[in-house]
Amino acid sequence: NSGNLKESWYGPQIDSHDFVLRMNKAPTVGFEMDVGSKTTHHLVYPESFRELAENVSMVLVPFKTTDLEWVVSATTTGTISHTYVPVPAKIKVKKNKILIYHPAFIKYVFDSWLQGHGRYPSTGILSVIFSLHICDEVDLYGFGADSKGN
């Protein structure tokens, strides 16, 4: 996700992993040599959603109640098209490819790992803690700020 992967040439190494998680609107097209092209799971919330390949699992990070309502609407009626900004009214994701973080997990990360600092955990820190809980080995690429502090 991070600009600090530019000219890293980590792409093939990233693609060699069994699972590759990406977050929000992470671009890969045009950056394959640095970030790889493989994505198995993509973490999103409504405002960060982008179209996903058919084989990619969408992991919804429900920061607010509306996020849960949105995923139901976006896969059925399309009635929710705005949260605090416009969001996709409809999404093309197979229902068996939709996963949702339990809100208690987000609270656990906030309380136990961030010790209550800040408003809520970022999708980045949530993905790291989630991976540490379910994977035997975790490698991080591009996690952290670029030279501009982003």
The predicted-structure confidence for 43-93, as pLDDT tens digits, reads as follows: 999 999 999 999 999 999 999 999 999 999 999 999 999 999 999 999 999
Q: Are 75 and 60 in contact (CB under 8 A)?
A: no
- Calculate mean pLDDT across residues 25-45: 94
Hey, how many other C-beta atoms are within 10 angstroms of the C-beta on 108? 14
CA distance 6 to 2: 8
- Calculate mean pLDDT across residues 143-150: 65
134 contact partners, CB below 8 Å, separation of at least 6: none
Give the closest residue to 8 by CA, choosing from 28, 35, 37, 38.
35
Give the helix/strand (H/E) hosting 98: strand 98-100
Is the full-model pTM beyond 0.85? yes
